[in-house]
Structure 1
Amino acid sequence: MAAARRDTRGIVGAADFLARVEFRRPDAAEPLRRYVEHYWLIDWDLPEPYVSHVVPHPAVHIVFQRFEGQEPFVEVAGVQHGLFTQKLEGRGRVCGVKFRPGAFRPFAPESPVSEWTGRRVHSPEVFPGADLAAVLAPDDEAARVAALDAFLLALDPRPDPQAELATALVERARTDRGIRRVTELARTEGMSVRLLQRLFAGYVGVGPKWVILRYRIHEALERAESADRIDWAALAADLGYADQAHLVRDFTATVGVPPAAYAAQGLS
């Protein structure tokens, strides 16, 4: 089982974001770690509105949210295709569960994960028994984590070999630079492309091609955040693009600005 990710990959303008909010990523209880990559806790008290941007991972989230002037709520956020944008203002708090790719299905086994893709569904339509106060009220981080653990354990997820296979294949797509095409990912498991696509629709929510391309954009975004000078042609080749133009096209379509402009100016 892969360890929880600790980087800020996917957060656009990560340094600016972290300067404005309190952001933590605690672990779930041991029995939940096969399903949950990490929790994410955000608190803010802002003198002026701030808009955050995230290039989403291929993961489903359950998010408990409290915004100033609104009633608290919980929602399931399926995998989002485009840039995820959230306006933060005044005071607020978010306590989220980031599931490992492929690992949400045991908590909602009735339908394929693709049915959640692109959607943000509020309670009480889903998980009507969620105790919002138990998760959102405590200032103590440990109490919030304990409440999230209790909420998920009460749903009594059952191990699913297909979910574990989907999780392993997404992790392989993320970490193996040699995998640049869907056929190559299918070959690592001795599967047909069609069977791989069915598995991803049922358990990940997006296709394997989308996953491979999205991790390329995450890598390019991180390079743009951290490097003073970038050889974009070399990076495109390293990420498996046919040429620099294809990388520029995908980056611009996902993030909203070309990679060179993002690296030079940042995005807030």
Structure 2
Amino acid sequence: MSREVLPTPEVLRPWIAGIGSVWVGDVPSEPFVHLPEAATKVVVRTGEHGTRSALVVGPRARASYHRGKRRASCVELRLAPGTVRPLLGIPAVDLVGRAVQLGELPAPFARQLAEVLGRLEPEEALAHLAEVLPERLAAATDPSRTELVRAGVDAMSVRTGRTPVHVGDVARELAVSERQLRNLFAEGVGLSPKHYARINRVRTVLDHAPTCSWAELAAAIGYYDQSHMTTDFRTLMGVPPRSYFTGRLPDATPCQAIRRS
């Protein structure tokens, strides 16, 4: 399996947090890992025989391990916080743990987009999105709610030299109640602020584990101690960090069929 980060057109950056491609050749010997994911993605998948489909993959609360993928390529558009409802017509929380056909979602524009993405090559599709998305999303977005949810996401994320702050502190900083903050996250991200922060920190462990000791990493990203980090990692990844990085993974299961709306 190979992954590549693709450039995001400047005009799409308020709405698309990142674009990547994934390619899987013959059946790999190692399980295919779906990592915990706090973002919703629009995925254009090209199958073994060239069949193309457009899917929406919602936030994933925990990792899963699968076998059976072969000869498929995907272009993944990771939606920025607050983009799901304006683009797809539903709150992000309705997509948690799901993969659905883009054309089956309620927003008329989602159905139009599915048709376009299903017939255009990736480069042509990105050019089309850069042309039509900004105006449509700007008209459908509540700027104040989007600004609040993005400020909350930033505050709950790990940054160099800064660890996530507590939910109550974020709510006070944004001048909203904790309940309002949870509602903003449910609609704009799909997860609670606390679960978003857990996924963000575990993903940081995955990114930086080779660079320093477990204890140093735990302290740097805001865990109480190494034991706290290990517990969080095991909860979301199914195994503790040492097991994961030495290849002792949970049993892989067959890839699931797409769950329809």
Match of 1:146 among 117, 121, 127: 127
Q: 1:213: which partner in 2?
A: 198
Q: 2:35: which partner in 1?
A: 55
Query: SS in structure 2 opposite 1:124?
Result: helix
Q: Distance in 1 between matches of 2:14 and 2:66?
A: 28
Percent identity over the alignment is 28
Q: Distance in 2 between matches of 1:260 and 1:64?
A: 34
Q: What is the TM-score of this pair, normalised by structure 1?
A: 0.76
Q: 2:149: which partner in 1?
A: 166
Correspondences of 1:1-268 after superposition (within 5 Å): 20-28=1-9, 30-46=10-26, 48=28, 51-68=31-48, 71-85=51-65, 87=67, 89-109=69-89, 111-126=90-105, 127-129=110-112, 130=114, 131-135=116-120, 138=121, 142-149=123-130, 152=133, 156-158=137-139, 159-161=141-143, 162-175=145-158, 177-224=162-209, 226-227=210-211, 230=213, 232-265=214-247
Question: RMSD over aligned Cα, in angstroms?
Answer: 2.9
Q: Distance in 2 between matches of 1:233 and 1:48?
A: 33
Query: SS in structure 1 opposite 2:71?
Result: strand
Query: SS in structure 1 opposite 2:164?
Result: coil
After superposing on structure 2, the runs of 4+ consecutive aligned residues of structure 1 that deviate more than 6 Å are none
Count of residues in Structure 1 that have an aligned counterpart in Structure 2: 240
Q: Which amino acid aligns with 2:220?
A: D
Q: Which amino acid aligns with 1:207?
A: S
Residues 183-240 of structure 1, C-alpha deviation per residue, up to 9 Å, x if partnerless?
Answer: 122222132211111111121111101111111111222222x23x51x334333333
Q: What is the TM-score of this pair, normalised by structure 2?
A: 0.78
Q: Distance in 2 between matches of 1:52 and 1:164?
A: 35
* 2:52–2:119 CA contact under 8 A, matched in 1: no
Deviation at 1:266, TM superposition (A): 7.7
**Runs of 5+ unmatched residues, structure 1:** 1-19
**Runs of 5+ unmatched residues, structure 2:** 253-261
Residues 73-113 of structure 1, C-alpha deviation per residue, up to 9 Å, x if partnerless?
Answer: 2111111111155656442221221011232222134x322
* 2:93–2:186 CA contact under 8 A, matched in 1: yes
